[in-house]
Structure 1
Amino acid sequence: MFERLIAYLDSIKARDPAPRTRWEVLLYPGVWALAYHRVAHWLFEADLFFLARLVNHWSRMVTGIDIHPGAIIGRNFFIDHGFTVIGETAEIGDNVTIYQCVTLGGTNPTNGQGGKRHPTIGDDVIIGSGAQVIGPITVGRRARIGANAVVTDEVPEGATMIGLKARSTLVPAEDWVKEFLPYGTPCDDPCAPSRDCVEKLETELKALRSELDALRSERQPVSAKRSGTDD
């Protein structure tokens, strides 16, 4: 058990450059929220729903993170900072990183029954701050959800989702495979398609300006000639 704790703390240090020691990581609200959730989930699985909720409410009060006791969470889950909400039927894989103010929310079931209504997050997924992942969708392995993105559709493996409503940057997974992408928000290679589009627009704008200058140059002699005739 102690070895598993050390491995977990080291996995967080590998993803966050801020802490100097494991002791600092032990003070993280995300670490405590996950510890409380393990207890709450064990109680929930034992049908001790009130006690599970009691632990959940205490955890939310002291950490600012609300994880429903029914949520299933894998190994090395890391919530950086807090103010995150994770719904009852959410399923989270291994080595998932979530930044602050993220919601793994549900949708209203059409049949009026609970059922699966929260997302399933694959292994090694990174969800940027403020992102909202809503409904019983699957976020594929190694996907990245950019900051403030709103995701309501299936996310392919390795895709990077940005925007409102979120869209893929269409970067092939084989062209963008890294061990870890901080904040789930690409700032270089994955934005190449957008950058190419901007460069194309700038080129077209430059060409239009050149054509406009040429038209102005052609009209100037005509205007000058007319002015001389009027005199």
Structure 2
Amino acid sequence: MSLFRQLSNLTCAVNDDLENILEKDPAARNKLEILLTYPGVHARILHRGAYTLWQHDQKFLARALSHVSRMLTGIEIHPAAKIGKRLFIDHGMGVVIGETAEIGDDVTLYHGVTLGGVSWDKGAKR
């Protein structure tokens, strides 16, 4: 897929996220405010980049981008996590989405949620 097409898809996906938040969050006043001040939106945008890198076997870069996202937002999303459309992470400090997590469309998460499990066996479905 061309870079132009990927950027176009990203723009559409972010716009869908912003529309969704405007509908769900009574405190949201406009798209610009959401884009600039909602850490959940920042985490989701950065995850899209990390996920793309992960899919192109750029694991180190994907993990590095994911780490930067966690430092900036307080939200930890593994680059391999599969996330559907219009995820809304509201008050997301402490949210953890693990490597094996699969999230469908139109999901809202709040602070302190952990998706994924713990297993000492590598590659185990959790």
**Percent identity of the aligned residues?**
53
Whether 1:100 aligns to 2:106 is: no
Whether 1:53 aligns to 2:63 is: yes
Structure with more of its chain in helix, by fraction: 2
User: Normalising by structure 1, what TM-score?
Assistant: 0.47
User: Normalising by structure 2, what TM-score?
Assistant: 0.85
Structure with more of its chain in strand, by fraction: 1
Query: Unaligned 5+ residue runs, structure 1?
Result: 118-231
CA contact (8 A) 2:81 2:99 kept: yes
1:9-88 → structure 2 map (5 Å cutoff)? 9-26=18-35, 27-82=37-92, 83-88=94-99
Residues 3 and 104 (structure 1 numbering): CA distance in 2 closer, same or farther, change over 3 Å? closer
**RMSD between aligned residues:** 1.4
- Equivalenced residues, count: 115
Cα distance in 1 for residues equivalent to 2:14 and 2:45: 11
Query: Unaligned 5+ residue runs, structure 2?
Result: 1-7
Structure with bigger RCO (C-alpha 8 Å, 6+ apart): 2
| Deviation at residue 113 of structure 1 after TM alignment | 3.0
Matching residue's letter, 2:52? W
Residues 108 and 4 (structure 1 numbering): CA distance in 2 closer, same or farther, change over 3 Å? closer
Residues 59 and 3 (structure 1 numbering): CA distance in 2 closer, same or farther, change over 3 Å? closer
CA contact (8 A) 2:43 2:73 kept: yes
1:51-200 → structure 2 map (5 Å cutoff)? 51-82=61-92, 83-108=94-119, 112-117=121-126
3-state DSSP of counterpart to 2:115 = strand
Q: Per-residue displacement from partner, 1:114-173 (whole Å, max 9, x unpaired)? A: 2321xxxxxxxxxxxxxxxxxxxxxxxxxxxxxxxxxxxxxxxxxxxxxxxxxxxxxxxx
